[in-house]
């Protein structure tokens, strides 16, 4: 299998065997698994597991290890997907928009997309008044923003952070 590096360039070929895939699956489901437990579950020695995990990390297959927090328990009760249209579609306004949204902590994800809108944002806020303030004070003040359309999440049928292997 050819793998692509983090910057999008083709890296040297790396073959993933069943053990590598098992390691990646286990790390996705529990990033805090100990080296000893990981070794036991895939039936390898701890030094062999450590070597394989480092090789997978070096190949760029593991971006990072994180704790996934409960937004609701932390007081963020509204998830919004905002579709943003820019007035101009040139490099400078696009980069300026990207830079602006990167500094807004409530914006969890920002995707440059094709179609009717230019960007899709995932936003977490405490309540509707917090979202109104975010739109009024931050999003709508970004130079070049033409249109903002908001979709509010009513419920979640599926949420995963695990990539299919």
Tell me the pLDDT tens digit for each residue of 2-19. Answer: 454 445 554 456 789 999
Distance of alpha carbon 165 from alpha carbon 21, whole angstroms: 7
For residue 120, give the nearest of 148, 77, 82, 158 by alpha carbon.
Answer: 82
Helix (H) or strand (E) holding 84: strand 78-86
Helix axes 35-42, 46-58, angle to 10 degrees: 100
Residue with tokens 């995707």: 111
Counted residue by residue, the chain has a size of 165
Domains of the chain: 1-67 (1.10.10.10), 78-152 (3.30.70.920)
Q: What pLDDT sits at residue 31?
A: 95
pLDDT at 12: 56
pLDDT less than 70: residues of the chain: 1-13
**Each residue's pLDDT tens digit, 25-37:** 999 999 999 999 9
């Amino acid at each position: 299998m050819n793998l692509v590096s983090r910057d999008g360039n083709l890296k040297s070929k790396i073959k993933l065997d069943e053990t590598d895939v098992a390691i990646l699956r286990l790390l996705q489901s529990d990033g805090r698994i100990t080296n000893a437990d990981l070794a036991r579950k895939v039936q390898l020695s701890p030094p062999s597991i450590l070597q394989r995990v480092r090789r997978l990390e070096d190949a760029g297959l593991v971006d990072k290890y994180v704790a996934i927090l409960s937004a609701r328990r932390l007081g963020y009760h509204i998830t919004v997907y905002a579709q943003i249209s820019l007035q101009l579609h040139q490099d400078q306004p696009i980069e300026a928009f990207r830079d602006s949204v990167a500094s807004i902590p409530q914006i969890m994800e920002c995707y440059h997309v094709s179609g009717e809108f230019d960007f899709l944002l995932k936003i977490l806020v405490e309540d509707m008044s917090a979202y109104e303030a975010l739109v009024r004070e931050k999003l709508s003040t970004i130079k070049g923003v033409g249109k903002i359309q908001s979709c509010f999440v009513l419920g979640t049928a599926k949420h995963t952070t695990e990539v299919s292997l």
